[in-house]
Amino acid sequence: MTLLTRAGCHLCEQARLPLAAICAETGAELREIDVDTDNDLRAEYGDRVPVFLVDGREHGYWRVEPERLRAALTA
């Protein structure tokens, strides 16, 4: 599971704790990538962070949907 984020993003901060808890619960690894460190990521996701990727594919953005995320991580 990957969290696309940026420094100073309050929604990213709010998403981090539930994402970390769900990853710990399901055994998934949580990686964070700052979109501002990569021009392609910034161009694609810059206005929508936080973005959640599962297996490299976009799963959601802005708000964590816990049950949906758990289902995706345990599928």
| CATH for 69 | 3.40.30.10
pTM of the shown model: 0.93
Cα-based distances in Å from 27 to 40, 68, 70: 29, 16, 10
Helix-helix angle 10-26:66-74, to 10 degrees: 40
Average pLDDT over every residue of 15-29: 97
Q: Which residue has the tokens 């206005």?
A: 47
Name the domain count of the chain: 1
Which domain covers residue 64, as residue numbers? 2-74
Mean pLDDT of all residues belonging to the chain: 96
Per-residue model confidence as pLDDT tens digits over 30-60: 999 999 999 999 999 988 999 999 999 999 9
